[in-house]
Amino acid sequence: MSLLEVKNLTISFGGLRAVDDFNIEIKKGQLYGLIGPNGAGKTTVFNLLTGVYKPDEGIISLDGHNITGLKTIEINKAGIARTFQNIRLFKELSVLDNVKVGLHNHYHYSTIEGILRLPKYYKVEKEMDKRAMELLKVFELDGEADYLASNLPYGKQRKLEIARALATEPKLLLLDEPAAGMNPNETGELMDTIRFVRDNFDMTILLIEHDMKLVSGICEELTVLNFGRILTQGETGSVLNNPQVITAYLGE
């Protein structure tokens, strides 16, 4: 069964149809790419999927549930987590605490237990520390757990964003240009990390990316957007050899 099913998703800003009749089906466990020239509507699709914008038309189903029109927080609880094109970490918090923010979806203590530091507070905090460190290890960030997020180099901040998104235990992870600003070595490591996350966290991943090496290296299927509309979609090899896709990119 498809994990994500989107039908006829459309949104306009003023006179601009930023996303026009967008359809996609992503199966559980898939590594799926959303590509297209600048301004094609890719980030807007993520904003629609995560409830930042409400669509003018269309239906979004996650794991058989209609999540169209839900608020961002409800969509996160339903199982979609994302990273942002412009990194949005809590820069004044430690690396560890950034991940713990994500964990609050699944670890709870009451306000009163928190304020009075009751035993439940310490128990839950300890469990969260343990889980957050496990996640940081995956991204080789455990050695920097106490650093301020803002003090991490750029490539590591991008990894921390993914760790924080994973902490919410999503079914679907959306990555908006995870390799942006990375050098080729960092991009190579990121590809390994994304594959690891898919395989070891049983994750389904939809990623937006301009780096064609990364796209062709890890995505099994692609959807190409151009001027808000789907140009083509299907298996990665055939999509990247499609002359229309090549023209869309050269015309950038």
Ligand X SMILES: Nc1ncnc2c1ncn2[C@@H]1O[C@H](COP(=O)(O)OP(=O)(O)OP(=O)(O)O)[C@@H](O)[C@H]1O
| Per-residue binding letters, 7-26, with ligand X (x by CB under 6 A) | ------x--x-x--------
Is residue 44 near Mg ion by the rule CB under 5 A?
Answer: no
Indicate whether 226 belongs to the interface with Mg ion (CB under 5 A). no
Residue 20, C-beta contacts closer than 8 angstroms, at least 6 positions apart = 10, 41, 228, 229
Cβ-closest residue to Mg ion? 43
Nearer to ligand X, 74 or 252 (CB): 252
Backbone angles phi, psi at 157, to 5 degrees: -65, -40
Would you count residue 43 as binding Mg ion (CB under 5 A)?
yes
Residue 172 β-bridge partners: 80, 204
Q: How far apart are CA 134 and CA 103, in angstroms?
A: 12
Can residue 44 be called a binding residue for ligand X (CB under 6 A)? yes
**Sole window of 36-44, 62-70, 155-163, 194-202 interacting with ligand X (rule: CB under 6 A):** 36-44
Q: Would you count residue 40 as binding ligand X (CB under 6 A)?
A: yes
The window from 48-56, 83-91, 185-193, 221-229 that contacts Mg ion (CB under 5 A) reads 83-91
- 226's CB contacts (< 8 A; 6+ apart) are 36, 37, 40, 248
Nearer Cβ to Mg ion, position 35 or 81?
35
Which residues in 95-114 contact ligand X (CB under 6 A)? none
Report if residue 249 touches ligand X, rule: CB under 6 A.
no
Q: How many residues bind Mg ion (CB under 5 A)?
A: 3
Which entry of Mg ion, ligand X, none binds 39, CB below 5 to 8 A by partner kind? ligand X
Choose among Mg ion, ligand X, none what residue 100 binds, the Cβ cut-off being 5 to 8 Å by kind.
none
* Residue 157, token pair as written in the block: 């901040």
For ligand X, which residue of 42, 82, 156, 164 counts as binding (CB under 6 A)? 42
* Binding test (CB under 6 A) with ligand X, winner from 61, 85, 105, 242: 85
